[in-house]
Amino acid sequence: MVYLIYEVVAFVGSLSGTARTAALEHASTAEVEKAHLHIDFEQPESLELLKFESEELLNEHLAGDGIRVVNGIKVPRIQSEWSFWPPSRRAINKIQEIKNSGREPTFEEVEGVSLTAAWEVPFFEE
């Protein structure tokens, strides 16, 4: 039997921009038949990610004035102590390298701060 303790977190990056909306309404019913949204985002030099450990805190952050465009990306692997699970060959090698130097690995040291590592091929699928 296997027991699993897990936590679900969200990382949110915010970009500012200018939004324009337009709507085409039916003349007699005033029902919106077509709508258009155009957003021009500013290009940041870097994007800070905020971590939310509950849906309530995430919803509080997302609530507010103005137009918000929210797009969720589900990460294909879970975060374990030192790496994403299942780990990639690169992560296994990095963990070995750190342990051989007499240090304890950290997730940030093994996987870095970019979520692109979550899409690396796990070692057993190579």
* Residue-wise pLDDT tens digits, 56-82: 898 888 887 777 778 777 777 888 889
* 87/122 same-domain check: yes
Q: What's the predicted TM-score (pTM) here?
A: 0.51
Helices (H), 76-117: 89-100, 107-111
- Judging by beta carbons within 10 Å of its beta carbon (0-12, 13-18, 19+), is residue 82 exposed, middle or buried? buried
* 60/45 same-domain check: yes
* 59/105 same-domain check: no
* 4/62 same-domain check: yes
* 93/108 same-domain check: yes
User: What local confidence, expressed as pLDDT, does residue 126 receive?
Assistant: 66
* 80/67 same-domain check: no
* 80/66 same-domain check: no
What does each C-alpha distance from 122 to 6, 32, 119 come to in angstroms? 20, 47, 9
pLDDT digits (tens, 9 = 90+) for 95-125: 999 999 999 999 999 998 777 888 888 887 7
Can you tell me which residue has the tokens 């007699």?
Answer: 28
Predicted confidence band at 10 (pLDDT cuts at 50, 70, 90)? confident
* 6/58 same-domain check: yes
* 56/96 same-domain check: no
* 60/84 same-domain check: no
Range of the domain at 84: 76-126
* 64/89 same-domain check: no
* 33/66 same-domain check: yes
Helices (H), 20-124: 55-62, 89-100, 107-111
Task: Tell which residue, 41, 38, 54, has the closest CA to residue 14.
Answer: 41
Domain count, the chain: 2
